[in-house]
Structures are given as structure tokens and as C-alpha cells.
Amino acid sequence: MGTYNKNAVYRGNWGVNDIIGAASVLLIKDEWKEIGKVTVPADQLIGLGFGDAVNQDAASGRLFVDLQAAGPADIVGQFRIMITSSNDLPLGGRPVLIDYDLATTRIGASNRTERLPNPYNGIMLSKDKVYKFLVKNTAAAAQTVTRADSSVEIDISKQMV
């Protein structure tokens, strides 16, 4: 892995096509389901969020995840981002980076400053490491996430190495 140079980091984001890996994903009640993943390409480092936590309203990255069923209709559940190795093993002592109720992650659809702050957390993943996006369905019955009806914007930091 290359050396992390704070001055060489640039901002980016993941959208709905990055987060949801299929046109639709069936969510079974009370089960965690992987809805998509991002594998870090060679010669890059990728970290979740950007900016720092000191001045969150002005400079921090943001997280917005509005998962919808056809109609559209709000998906009810928990949203999780976790990190794994290329062999699908959890990474480090804190493999779960984010675990939020989906009602919270859909705040700020039209106003970025209302979205959840997502400051850079100091973790940069290198080649072949994986960010996984999971949902736990907490509704009374099965739900189906549809990519066409959903909206996602998760800020990230990148560095070429």
C-alpha cells in the first residue's frame, strides 16, 4: 500500500449505481442482505467521507441514502456499511463503519446541509479491499429495493498511489 498524503486526496462520491448492485434486491424480514459493494481498484486508496468533524456544516462530507421500493415507497430498515478483505473477511477491529436507520439516512433530499455528516474517519482501503452495503429489513413483510426509484449520495475521499 502506498503512503497516505493528505494533500493528494480528492473528493468523490458514490451514487445509486455504486451502492445497489442489481435492478432490484429482495429484502427478507429481519435478515441482513448485501445490496451492493465497491471493490477498491489497483493504485487507489478510498476512504469514507471527507473533511473533518470540527466544522461539519461547512466542510464535512455528507451521507444520503433513500432506498425505495417500486411506486416509490420507503424501504423500512437499517443501512450498514462494512469493510472486508478480498476474501470476504471483516477488516480490523471495527469492520462496521456506519449503521443507521433508513429513516435517518433519507433526511436532506433537497438540502445538503440537512444530511447526515460524513467526515473522513481516517480509514483508507487499498487494492481489492471491499466496502459492502447491507440492509436489514425491519418491516412486517418482505420488501424489494429498486435501483430506479432509489437515490444515493455518499461522499468519499480518494487518492491515487
pLDDT for residue 92: 86
pLDDT for residue 131: 97
Alpha-carbon distance 33 to 136, whole Å?
6
pLDDT for residue 53: 54
Asked, for residue 1, whether it belongs to a domain, the answer is no
Asked, for residue 149, whether it belongs to a domain, the answer is yes
pLDDT for residue 64: 97
pLDDT for residue 3: 54
Alpha-carbon distance 30 to 77, whole Å?
9
Asked, for residue 57, whether it belongs to a domain, the answer is yes
Asked, for residue 38, whether it belongs to a domain, the answer is yes
Q: What domain range is 21 assigned to?
A: 7-160
pLDDT for residue 123: 86
pLDDT for residue 153: 96
pLDDT for residue 6: 59
Alpha-carbon distance 62 to 80, whole Å?
15
Asked, for residue 72, whether it belongs to a domain, the answer is yes
Apex 52 CA angle, 35 and 45, nearest 5 = 55
Alpha-carbon distance 137 to 78, whole Å?
7
pLDDT for residue 140: 96
Asked, for residue 15, whether it belongs to a domain, the answer is yes
- Residue 1's identity, in one-letter code, is M
How many domains are contained in the chain?
1
pLDDT for residue 56: 44
Asked, for residue 144, whether it belongs to a domain, the answer is yes
- Mean pLDDT in runs of 10 for the chain (161 residues)? 61 94 98 97 90 57 95 96 94 92 96 88 90 98 98 93 83
pLDDT for residue 74: 97
Q: What is the CATH number of the domain that holds 73?
A: 2.60.120.1170
pLDDT for residue 136: 98
pLDDT for residue 122: 81
Of 155, 147, 143, nearest to 33 by C-alpha is 143
